[in-house]
Structure formats: structure tokens, C-alpha cells
């Protein structure tokens, strides 16, 4: 058994995927992506335009943004285990799927486009080199396309070979870059020959340094922010290490250490190269060796070259100089010890960046696909081999890159890429800030060298830079983000990552709930906060839908479920979770509160006292009418109108059209009977319904009572279609309508009332009936009026009779049953407690 176990362990070790440390996995990878073609082909030109001082300012501002972002990345990466997915994984697990999903899509696409851009950069340099040797395949544009497609295909094959091969290739590129940069610095100390002097290269000179300290803007659109926009894409490589977090041995250690070290060393190199090249090369030179001055004849000579013994006046005045810091993009190669080593550096920089982005995009996209936040992308989630390589995502990234390489007009796309990356930086910093500000106990990064305020600054400055660089690209970026955000926010994916948004929501809810406790109630802010005795909500969907129709987005709703002892023992452990899921699926905005009690009465009493929090406590009790109350004992629960968990559609989910809602306002209860139908008509299914109000009156004062009621409703700003005065409510009802609730005990000889009650406990004796005869007949008569006027309305609301202490419970139940019997629409018995819930005053 021991041998077998050791063999299995040895086999697992052999099959272990390749994992990288902080140097190879993060620092080298980030440095390669930061050392791009901008370093070799644009930095000298930017320095000539902005001068040494402003160029350093541009570099330092860029480094400030990237350093703050790196600190935020480090904090997030050390707050728990980071798997594959890089920036997307960090943002989505911190801010939730609503923000993480859009960034995952945009960031993956941006990496694919960045791969295309760097490949085109390599192809253009390769084409120029071929033209120097007289090699042309088709023409200048198509040669770039051909070389670009061939190059990205080779890079794809390297990626498909596995991370080990890709890493070895990157190390080779890194060594080439180190040799190339060393070659440049050595070249600055080599005394220039006549040919180099004609090109404006004179070695280290104080005059050149002082001349190039200040800016010299050339061109209509040349300014600080344009130079900043051109330089900043060189800084977008700081996420390269984080993007392959799944291939790192210890991401929590490697990402902070490697990223910050990469920023440090590349910053030093950018600063040194900008100041050294601006100390050795003048801005304008002709390249013509005949422009050398003989003797001390400097009359009419223009430019700094005059002090160096060269007359570049003609090309300066005619603005056609081909050499010098401001005119030649290949100055670094000319200054260096060996020109073609700089060309090799350009190749290494562009190819390493393209390869890095080609690897990053599929890794991030694979993680997004595995989370299944968007439809139709699950196909690309599948991984292959011991490293779970996203081969399908590689092919997709390759197709996107080839498509944009073939376009060959990428200036517009380049602006979008910078904005996509800046947007990612902004959200990474905001993720760190938001996680810190919410004080969540789960936010415990082991990396402590960050500040929530620097993170917030990084988030804001990234957004500002987006609009300063290219405002239209920033608008496009935000439109894409908001569209993708809206999709996820609407679909509500079933994921729970413990995001800081959840923690922030809790903090806000807690803060507002506590602050409400110090605010006195005001009638203008009254809301019917309902405790609904639903039992399991899925068993009474009609009751849930009815209350939800006037509380959703308006007020509090709590579904109370009183669980008695026998039920508690047989109740499934996940019953509460299942019922909450049922309500969420039904889009009911309600809390579910189960409460264990010995009896229904005791449980209802305690639930009414204990439910709610602070001012968010129920002020309205809602329960369903027990239709089989005659046969049931008082302690049994209400009858369910749905015996399973299916989403059965009820009448309250149907569009009611232009039906009416009839309100029988028998007594002034403070206005609750009028407020509820108004709130119901604010819902889209009930919006076209008309409210009719029925009031009690006599024929002599009918018009006066109706006009007073109309005036009152108008002052309360309640919309209604008609007010109807019931002048016949005091008439005696038909005898047959009263009979079902009487025992007729006086007509039966030899049988006591108690004996009759045992058979029919819900009926009342003749003596009890006589004591409440007038009230009982009034209820029966009101039912006749309701059936006559409201047989097929959408909803009927009737003032609930007030129970008296001497009224038998059976008689009271009979009244309620009588009021609503014979109707073909939902009926609501409602009554306030004489506390005003409506006002027509402004204060």
C-alpha cells in the first residue's frame, strides 16, 4: 500500500502543471510589456516636444497611476487565494458580477487588440528593415499585413505549445532587451564620428541638455496631453503578471513583489533614456556632412548646432530636417554602439508584448466564461492539459488579432485600448477603495502598504485621463460598460462571491435604519408596512401577490410563517432558503420570517411584536380569510391555495384593463381604506382601473354627501372616477340571506343550544341573533348591494366591521363570510385604527 501511495504521489508530481515565481512569472513579464515600441520609437520624439522636465512629469504621472494601481492589485491579490482570471477575477470577486462581468469582456477584448497593435508595430519595423535591403513583397501596406499575420500565427503556436515554452520565449526576449538597452547606454559614451554629428549626435553636452530641458511644441495639436496620451500606453503592461495568476506558485506574494519591482526598474530606464538622449542629440539636424562649419564663421547660423561646429540653418528654416531628436524616430539606434541591436530590441519589445497580450486575453476570457455571466460564451471555458490551457479562447483571440491586423488602420482602435485599460485601472482602484471603506470583516489583505484614499485618487485620475486623452473613446468605453452592466443587473446571475458591494449595502441599510429611529413619524410619510400571515409563501401566492401589488418599491412587507412544534420536527432544513428563492423568482420584495410557537394564536401575537427593526416595523396586519372556518378548529392554519412550490399565476399578476376597483367606505378609519386602492393603481397591471367609492347616505342629503366626498377626495389628491351614495343600506335584507347562520334552537324542542352547537359550532342561537339582529341584517344588506354593483369588478374593498367584546366569534366570522359571499372577484376587508394616514396639508 505504501509503494502504491508513493507511486501515485510521484505520478502526481510528474503531472503537476508549470508554476512560476515572482521574477519570471510577474516581474519579467511586466517589464517586457512595459518596455514596448514606445520606448524605442516614441520616447525620444516625446522628449523633443515636451522637453526633459515635462517628459519626466509625464513619466512620473504615469508611474503614479500605475503604482497606485499596483498597490491596489497587491492588496486585492493578498486578500484570499487568487486563481486564474487576473484583473477580471479580482474586480468581480471584490465588486461583484455586475462590475466584474463588463470589465472581463472589455479587458479581454483590449488585450486581444493590444496583441494586434504590437504585432503591427513589429511588422512595420520589419517592413522598413526589408525596404532598406530592397525587399518588397507586394506594397508597403500589404507587406505589414502579411508579416503581421505570419507573426501572430507563430506567436499562437508558441502559446499553444504551453506556458513553459511561452515563458522560455519571454526570457529570450528579455535577454535581447537587456543587451539592446546596454548597447544604447554604452553608445552614449562613445565619441560620435562625423556621420553621427551630421545627424545631430554630439555626445553628452551641457548646452544640449539645457536646450532640451524646456518644451518645443511642433504641430497644430502638439501639447502636453497629446504627448501624455501617446506615452501612456507604454504603462499598460502592469497587469501582465496578474493576468496569469493561475500559473503562479504563490500569487499573493508574486503579484505585489513582481509588479512593483517591474514598475521601479522600468521607471528608472525611461527616466534615464529620456535624459541621456536629450543630453546627446540636438532637436534638428540635416544629416548632410557638408554642413560642417569651417573656421569660426557662424554669421547667420541658426540653431544649437552652430555651437557644435555645424550649420543646420537651411533645414531648420525650411522645416525639412530629417534627423535630430524632433525628426528621426530611430535616434536611439543611431546613438547606440551597434544600430541593429536596437532593431533587435524593437523586435523583442513588440513581440514580447504581443505574446504577453496573446496569453493574457484567453486566460482572462476563460475565467469569465467559466463564471457563465453571459450567454453563448461557455464554449470557450473548456481548458486542456495539465495547465488547463484555454485553447479555444486562444483561437478566438487569434482571430480577433488577425482581423484587426488586416484592417491595418489601428489609430482609432489604439485610443480605445488606452481607455479600456484605464477603465480597468479605475475599477481596480475603486475595488480596493470600496472594500476598505465598507469595513467588511472579510477585507484582511496581508499587503498593508496601501491606502484607501490613494486608491480612490487612482480611480478618479484614471477616469479623468480617459477623457483628457480621447473623450469620444471614453464615452464609447462607458457606453459598452453600462450596456454589459445592465445585462447582468437585469438577469441577476446566481453567484455569491461575498463582494464589497454586499458589504456596502449592509452598511447603508444599517446606517439608514439607525438614522430613522431619531425621526418622528409624519402622516405625509405613512406607508402601509405589512406583516402578512402567509405561512409558507408558496402556499398562498394570491395573498403574497396582493400585498406585493401595493408594497413593492414602496414599503415594507414581511411574510410571517408560524411553525408549530409538530411541523418543526418534520420541516426540511433548507425550507427557509427554498421559500426565499421562491419569492425572489416571483420577484416579490419581501422578507420571510419563520417563527416557532406552541400555538397559532401565541405565535401570531409574538410575531406581531417581534418582527421588524426600528422604524421598519409592521403597522398593518394582513391575513387570508379562512374559507372553511366552519369546519376547522381555531388552532388550525389557514387553507393553502397552492400545495407545491410551482410559480402559479394569480389574478393579481394579470392586466386588469379598464375594470373598476370598488371601495365601500362605511366608516372613517383614518384613510387606509382609500390609500390602499390608490397604491394598487400605481402598478402597471392596475394602472387603467377606475376607482369607485361607495358611501352610506340618505336620499334627502344624497347630493350634499356626494359633493362633500368628492371635495374630500380631491383635497387628498386621490384619483377616482365616481362617488356613489348608498341610500338603501338601511333596508331589511331578504330573509333567506340571514337563515344560514342561525341555529333556530327555539323551534326545536328537546334539544339544547349546546347540543346543537356541537354539530354546527359556527351557528348562533336565536337569542344571540336577536341581540345583534340589526347589525347582522346590515351586513347581509350590504352584501346584497355589493353583489348588485360589484359582481365582476377587478377588486372590492369593504370596511372591516369592528368586533365587540360581547359579540360571539362565530357571529363575527359569519358577518365577514356574509359580506364577501357570492362575488366573482377578490374581496378585501380593511380597516384602519382611526390614525390619519392621509393629509391635504403641506406640513
In order of 387, 411, 498, 654, 742, the CA distances from 83 in angstroms are 12, 34, 16, 47, 75
Give the confidence band of 54 by pLDDT, cuts at 50, 70, 90.
very high
- Count other Cβ atoms within 10 Å, centred on residue 205: 16
CB–CB of 798/767 below 8 Å? no
Please check the confidence at residue 5 and state whether its pLDDT lies above 80.
no
Closest-CA residue to 620 (of 530, 547, 527, 525): 530
Comparing 69 with 630, the larger pLDDT belongs to 69
Strand order from edge to edge, sheet including 827-830? 722-726, 690-696, 660-665, 795-799, 827-830
In order of 90, 95, 272, 506, the CA distances from 497 in angstroms are 11, 9, 44, 15
Q: Residue 570: exposed, middle, or buried by beta-carbon count in 10 A (0-12, 13-18, 19+)? A: exposed
Q: Could you give the CA distance from residue 815 to residue 836 in angstroms, rounded to a whole number?
A: 26
B/e letters for 632-644, b = 16+ CB within 10 Å, e = fewer, are eeeeebbeeebee
Tens-digit pLDDT profile for residues 607-652:
888 888 888 889 899 998 887 777 766 556 554 555 455 778 888 8
Instruction: Say if 526-628+649-654 and 657-842 have the same CATH topology.
Output: yes
Q: Could you give the CA distance from residue 666 to residue 668 in angstroms, rounded to a whole number?
A: 7
- Count other Cβ atoms within 10 Å, centred on residue 141: 11
Section 224-231 average pLDDT: 85
In order of 659, 694, 707, the CA distances from 721 in angstroms are 11, 11, 13
Cell numbers representing residue 549 in the block = 401589488
Q: Residue 489: exposed, middle, or buried by beta-carbon count in 10 A (0-12, 13-18, 19+)? A: middle
Domain covering 657-842: architecture: 3-Layer(aba) Sandwich (3.40)
Domain covering 29-285+321-491: architecture: Up-down Bundle (1.20)
Domain covering 526-628+649-654: architecture: 3-Layer(aba) Sandwich (3.40)
Give the range among 63-67, 142-146, 833-837 with minimum mean pLDDT.
833-837
Section 226-251 average pLDDT: 80
Cα of 350 vs its chain's centroid, Å: 34
- For the chain, the structural domain boundaries read 29-285+321-491, 526-628+649-654, 657-842
Which residues partner with 693 through β-bridges?
A: 663, 723
Q: Show the CA angle centred on residue 498, arms to residues 497 and 499, nearest 5°.
A: 90
E strands present in 524-676: 530-533, 557-564, 591-597, 620-623, 660-665
One DSSP character per residue, 340-395 reads HHHHHHHHHHHHHHHHHHHHHHHHHHHHHHHHT-STT-GGGG--BTTTTB-HHHHH
In order of 15, 378, 571, the CA distances from 278 in angstroms are 53, 52, 80
Tens-digit pLDDT profile for residues 489-510:
888 788 877 777 777 888 888 8
Please check the confidence at residue 700 and state whether its pLDDT lies above 50.
yes
B/e letters for 494-516, b = 16+ CB within 10 Å, e = fewer, are ebebebbbbbbeeeeeeeeeeee
Tens-digit pLDDT profile for residues 384-441:
877 778 889 999 999 999 988 887 665 666 777 888 888 888 888 888 898 888 887 8
Amino acid at each position: 500500500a505504501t509503494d502504491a501511495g508513493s507511486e501515485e504521489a510521484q505520478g502526481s508530481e510528474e503531472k503537476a502543471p508549470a508554476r512560476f515565481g515572482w521574477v519570471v512569472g510577474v516581474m519579467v513579464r511586466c517589464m517586457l510589456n512595459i518596455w514596448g515600441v514606445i520606448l524605442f520609437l516614441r520616447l525620444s520624439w516625446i522628449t523633443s516636444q515636451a522637453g526633459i522636465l515635462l517628459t519626466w512629469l509625464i513619466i512620473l504621472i504615469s508611474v503614479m497611476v500605475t503604482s497606485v494601481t499596483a498597490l491596489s492589485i497587491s492588496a486585492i491579490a493578498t486578500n484570499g487565494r487568487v486563481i486564474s482570471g487576473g484583473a477580471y477575477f479580482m474586480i468581480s470577486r471584490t465588486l461583484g458580477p455586475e462590475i466584474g462581468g463588463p470589465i472581463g469582456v472589455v479587458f479581454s477584448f483590449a488585450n486581444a487588440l493590444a496583441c494586434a497593435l504590437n504585432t503591427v508595430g513589429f511588422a512595420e519595423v520589419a517592413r522598413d528593415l526589408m525596404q532598406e535591403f530592397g525587399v518588397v513583397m507586394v506594397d508597403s501596406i500589404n507587406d505589414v499585413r502579411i508579416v503581421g499575420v505570419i507573426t501572430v500565427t507563430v506567436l499562437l503556436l508558441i502559446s499553444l505549445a504551453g506556458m513553459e515554452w511561452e515563458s522560455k520565449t519571454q526570457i529570450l526576449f528579455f535577454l535581447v532587451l537587456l543587451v539592446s538597452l546596454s548597447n544604447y547606454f554604452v553608445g552614449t559614451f562613445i565619441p560620435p564620428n562625423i556621420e553621427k554629428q551630421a545627424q545631430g549626435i554630439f555626445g553628452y553636452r551641457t548646452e544640449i541638455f539645457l536646450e532640451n530641458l524646456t518644451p518645443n511644441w511642433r504641430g497644430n495639436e502638439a501639447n502636453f496631453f497629446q504627448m501624455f496620451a501617446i506615452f501612456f500606453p507604454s504603462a499598460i503592461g502592469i497587469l501582465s503578471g496578474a493576468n496569469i495568476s493561475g500559473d503562479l506558485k504563490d500569487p499573493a506574494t508574486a503579484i505585489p513583489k513582481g509588479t512593483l519591482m517591474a514598475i521601479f526598474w522600468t521607471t528608472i530606464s525611461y527616466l534615464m533614456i529620456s535624459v541621456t538622449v536629450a543630453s546627446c542629440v540636438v532637436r534638428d539636424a540635416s544629416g548632410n556632412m557638408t554642413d560642417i562649419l569651417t573656421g569660426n564663421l557662424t554669421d547667420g547660423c541658426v540653431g544649437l548646432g552652430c555651437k557644435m561646429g555645424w550649420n543646420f540653418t537651411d533645414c531648420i528654416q525650411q522645416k525639412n530636417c530629417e534627423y535630430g531628436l524632433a525628426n528621426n524616430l530611430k535616434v536611439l539606434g543611431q546613438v547606440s554602439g551597434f544600430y541593429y541591436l536596437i532593431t533587435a530590441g524593437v523586435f523583442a519589445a513588440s513581440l514580447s508584448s504581443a505574446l504577453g497580450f496573446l496569453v493574457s486575453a484567453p486566460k482572462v476570457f476563460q475565467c469569465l466564461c467559466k463564471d457563465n455571466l453571459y450567454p453563448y460564451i461557455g464554449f470557450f471555458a473548456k481548458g486542456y492539459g495539465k495547465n488547463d490551457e484555454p485553447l479555444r479562447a486562444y483561437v478566438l483571440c487569434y482571430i480577433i488579432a488577425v482581423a484587426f491586423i488586416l484592417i491595418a488602420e489601428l489609430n482609432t482602435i489604439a485610443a480605445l485600448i488606452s481607455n479600456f485599460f484605464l477603465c480597468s485601472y479605475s475599477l481596480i482602484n475603486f475595488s480596493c477603495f470600496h472594500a476598505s471603506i465598507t469595513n467588511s470583516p472579510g477585507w484582511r489583505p496581508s499587503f498593508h502598504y496601501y491606502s484607501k484614499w490613494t486608491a480612490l485618487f487612482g480611480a478618479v485620475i484614471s477616469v479623468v485621463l480617459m477623457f483628457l486623452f480621447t473623450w469620444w473613446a471614453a464615452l464609447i468605453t462607458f457606453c459598452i460598460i453600462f450596456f454589459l452592466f445592465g445585462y447582468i443587473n437585469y438577469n441577476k446571475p446566481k453567484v455569491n462571491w461575498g463582494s464589497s458591494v454586499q458589504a456596502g449595502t449592509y452598511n447603508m441599510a444599517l446606517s439608514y435604519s439607525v438614522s430613522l429611529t431619531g425621526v418622528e413619524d409624519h402622516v405625509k410619510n405613512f406607508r402601509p408596512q405589512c406583516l402578512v400571515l402567509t405561512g409558507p409563501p408558496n402556499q398562498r401566492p394570491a395573498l403574497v401577490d396582493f400585498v406585493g401589488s401595493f408594497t413593492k418599491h414602496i414599503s415594507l412587507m414581511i411574510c410571517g410563517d408560524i411553525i408549530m412544534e409538530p411541523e418543526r420536527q418534520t420541516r426540511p432544513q433548507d425550507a427557509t432558503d427554498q421559500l426565499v428563492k421562491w419569492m425572489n423568482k416571483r420577484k416579490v420584495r419581501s422578507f420571510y420570517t419563520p417563527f416557532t410557537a406552541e400555538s397559532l394564536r401565541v405565535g401570531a401575537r409574538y410575531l406581531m411584536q417581534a418582527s421588524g427593526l426600528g422604524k421598519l416595523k409592521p403597522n398593518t396586519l394582513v391575513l387570508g380569510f379562512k374559507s372553511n372556518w366552519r369546519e376547522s378548529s381555531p388552532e388550525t392554519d389557514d387553507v393553502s391555495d397552492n400545495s407545491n412550490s410551482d410559480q402559479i399565476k394569480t389574478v393579481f399578476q394579470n392586466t386588469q384593463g379598464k375594470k373598476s376597483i370598488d371601495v365601500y367606505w362605511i366608516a372613517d378609519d383614518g384613510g387606509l381604506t382609500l390609500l390602499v386602492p390608490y397604491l394598487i393603481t400605481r402598478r402597471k397591471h392596475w394602472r387603467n382601473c377606475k376607482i369607485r367609492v361607495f358611501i352610506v347616505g340618505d336620499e334627502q342629503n344624497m347630493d350634499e354627501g356626494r359633493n362633500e366626498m368628492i371635495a374630500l377626495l380631491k383635497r387628498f389628491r386621490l384619483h377616482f372616477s365616481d362617488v356613489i351614495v348608498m341610500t338603501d343600506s338601511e333596508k331589511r335584507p331578504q330573509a333567506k340571506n340571514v337563515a344560514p347562520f342561525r341555529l333556530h334552537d327555539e323551534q326545536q324542542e328537546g334539544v339544547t343550544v349546546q347540543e346543537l352547537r356541537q354539530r354546527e359550532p359556527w351557528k348562533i342561537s336565536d337569542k344571540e341573533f336577536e341581540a345583534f339582529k340589526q347589525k347582522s341584517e346590515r351586513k347581509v344588506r350590504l352584501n346584497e348591494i355589493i353583489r348588485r354593483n360589484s359582481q365582476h369588478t377587478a377588486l372590492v374593498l369593504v370596511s372591516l366591521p369592528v368586533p365587540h367584546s360581547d359579540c360571539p366569534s362565530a357571529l363575527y366570522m359569519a358577518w365577514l363570510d356574509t359580506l364577501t359571499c357570492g362575488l366573482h372577484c377578490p374581496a378585501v376587508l380593511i380597516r384602519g385604527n382611526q390614525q390619519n394616514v392621509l393629509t391635504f396639508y403641506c406640513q
